[in-house]
Amino acid sequence: MKLDISDLKRGGLVVYDGDPYMVLSVKHVHMGRGGASVQTKIKNLRSGKVLDRNFKSADTFEEADIEKLNANFIYERNSEYWFNESGNKGNRFSLVKDVIGDAAPFLKPGMEVKAFIFDGGVINIELPIKADYKVIEAPPSIRGNTSSGGDKVVTIEGGAKVTVPLFIEEGDVIRINTETWEYAERAK
């Protein structure tokens, strides 16, 4: 199906230069006598690269025919991340770290993700919007250390570093927003 710039919306899937992209943000701009245009931020689902692109009203896109599959993360070895289809452990696939991008340190064994299938192959994954992680390393809270807003950086399972409030300690389970990579709340 053909799409024009007015059909672009956050989360939309389009084909651009032969590759599938997810639209991350769209800002409509009208410049005086010139025609309408949109400023977009789009993510290549094959490579994981994010591009800033401006499109004019004459530009058209093909809607990306992408299937989604529920999958579970199994393990990582040599920057290769292995998954299996939920309910079918024999259907395994892997993706390299460059494709997964910023999501790599937030993957943990057993985590359920959505896999994107394009042209018969899995091209990328999407994490759940919020996920719980155990804090594996946290500096001690120093009383009176609130000049920077009362935050500290901790390491969570998977190796990601996240800014959290001072009261979070090693061993706590916290909820992270995987779209912004920010602390949301203490889970347990």
Contact 44, 53 (CB under 8 A): no
| Domains 2-63 and 130-186 are alike in CATH topology | no
Query: Where do the domains of the chain lie?
Result: 2-63, 67-126, 130-186
* Annotation: CATH topology of 2-63: SH3 type barrels. (2.30.30)
Measured between alpha carbons, how far is 36 from 28 in angstroms, rounded to an integer?
7
For the stretch 91-125, pLDDT in tens is 999 999 888 888 889 999 999 999 999 888 888 89
Domain covering 67-126, topology: OB fold (Dihydrolipoamide Acetyltransferase, E2P) (2.40.50)
Answer yes or no: pTM beyond 0.85. Answer: no
- pLDDT per residue as tens digits for the range 125-173: 989 999 999 999 999 877 665 555 678 999 999 889 999 999 999 999 9
SS3 23: strand
CA neighbor of 156 nearest in space, from 185, 186, 134: 134
Residue 25's identity, in one-letter code, is S
For 102, the 3-state DSSP assignment is helix
Q: Which superfamily, per CATH, for 130-186?
A: Nucleic acid-binding proteins (2.40.50.140)
